[in-house]
Amino acid sequence: MGYKIFNKSSESMTDIDNESIDLIFFSPPYNIKTFYGNFNDNLKFEKYLDFMKNVILECARKLKKDGRLIIEIADSIFINQKYIQLAGVIQKLAVSNADLFLETRHINFIQTKDLFELPDHGFDKNYSTSIKAHSNCHQILVFNKTKTKPKNGEILYINHKPSSEHPCPEPQEMIDFIFKNYFKTGMKVLDPFMGTANLGIQIVRNGGTFLGYELVERFYNIAKKKLESA
């Protein structure tokens, strides 16, 4: 029980043994020019896909044979005047490149003051299409290493709460959902994009072991402080 966190890129997680992790959960950067500090969230799309592929492959190596990888990702992004079905692209990377199987797909709607819940990019109050960089509809993709019968997913409604610590912290409702459905005491849980470790705190408080990677030192330091007091 406890935690181990690293201020480095999760593209190579050599600090962790292969096939040792029960549950991996992450919400990655969406490559939509979010300002994270010393990390460039505006890569050429091919480069971004290579980056995502590397992390997903590394996650598949670290996952136990009966473990799960859960990715929370915007349904679509609108960047450089183009719509991209990001969740579909990421699902394909995991299935085709990392030999993972899609077990379930949940849908979560991030509710904000001015966006309705729509499957693709939201509409603003005047019913004109919003060109906000990512859709308010997200998918929670659940992968495993063995082919099982696909299960029906759920629909979640999550309130967006801005934070002064991080531009996109994991909402508590999302963490509670992962806990209720996928966590058991004693599990080893990895978040390769941990941000300020909102997930990690709950893992540690509930008898699990948390492993986290974060590239930006400021977020890593906040995570460290919060985990120490948890």
Binding residues for ligand SAM, per CB under 6 A?
9-11, 27-29, 36, 39, 166, 168-170, 193-196, 198, 213-216, 219
DSSP character at residue 60? H
Indicate the residue among 128 and 164 with the shorter CB distance to ligand SAM.
Answer: 164
Q: How many CB atoms lie within 10 A of CB 226?
A: 16
CB of 165 to ligand SAM, least distance (A): 8
Indicate the residue among 12 and 18 with the shorter CB distance to ligand SAM.
Answer: 12
Q: Which residue is nearest to ligand SAM (CB)?
A: 195
Indicate the residue among 38 and 146 with the shorter CB distance to ligand SAM.
Answer: 38
**How is residue 163 written in tokens?**
């934070």
CB of 71 to ligand SAM, least distance (A): 11
**How is residue 93 written in tokens?**
């990377």
Strand order in the sheet with 63-74: 2-6, 209-213, 188-191, 21-26, 63-74, 137-144, 101-111, 155-159
d(CA 193, CA 182): 18
d(CA 12, CA 102): 24
CB of 62 to ligand SAM, least distance (A): 14
CB of 127 to ligand SAM, least distance (A): 29
Indicate the residue among 25 and 109 with the shorter CB distance to ligand SAM.
Answer: 25
d(CA 89, CA 73): 10
CB of 13 to ligand SAM, least distance (A): 9
Indicate the residue among 100 and 194 with the shorter CB distance to ligand SAM.
Answer: 194
